[in-house]
Amino acid sequence: MADKNVNAVKDYTYVLFDLDGTLTDSGPGIMNGYEYALGKMGVEIPDRSFLKQFVGPPLGESWEKKLGFSPDDAQRGMAFYREYYAEKGVYENEVYPGVKELLSELRSLGKKMYVATTKAEPMAKVVLEYFGLAEFFDEVVASTEVRKTKIDVLKYVTENCGIMDISKAVMVGDRHYDITGAHHVGLDSIGVLYGYGDRQELEEAGATFIAETVPDIGKYIM
């Protein structure tokens, strides 16, 4: 476990969790979805590792900014992706070891917990129900037509989900989107290293704490 700011650990009341790469290892399904969609679009993939960059960012950003598609072609590509993901990719996923135990402990201590993800809302709810995680959360806030970025999602949670003191709230996630989004709305953040980001990415984004493992998250919250 990193010692960064260990003396600044607070007794957080509200805990916001990213989903992909934080609660579940969704990488295989997401990468398979991109592989399917890019194949449909006639794009040759250099190797499997190329697809890892798409675990975490919002779909629109990946297709337009990372892959350079026009808005119209990006919409086509996303439609192919969703075609695969809704049928197969959403289930090509698994809960990280220790996550259920952590959530159960946090719940027993009376913490208020939220999922804050840019995954499409219907798919986020499918994952949480299918893997038995939904019961732990007070609210699930995901991507919709009006909430497209991590900042949009986090603003909604902090303004509409009963968080009475933002200094008592913390965002947990594996990518810089989670950390910069948290900073934007005034939240502390815990960057996790077992997901799809790395220490440099999370530290450069300004993570308040860095957790190497799932149990380490609890040490910063409790």
Please give the positions annotated as active site. 18
Task: With beta carbons less than 8 A apart as the criterion, state whether 202 and 210 touch.
Answer: yes
Nearest Cα neighbor of 10 from 213, 174, 209 is: 209
Residue 130 has which token pair? 């299918």
* Amino acid at the residue 175: R
For residues 81 and 120, give the distance between their C-alpha atoms in angstroms, rounded to a whole number.
12
The tally of CA atoms less than 13 A away on the side-chain side of residue 139 is 19
Q: 3-class SS at 52?
A: helix
The number of beta carbons lying within 10 Å of the beta carbon of residue 49 is 9
For residues 133 and 71, give the distance between their C-alpha atoms in angstroms, rounded to a whole number.
35
For residues 99 and 192, give the distance between their C-alpha atoms in angstroms, rounded to a whole number.
12
For residues 119 and 103, give the distance between their C-alpha atoms in angstroms, rounded to a whole number.
20
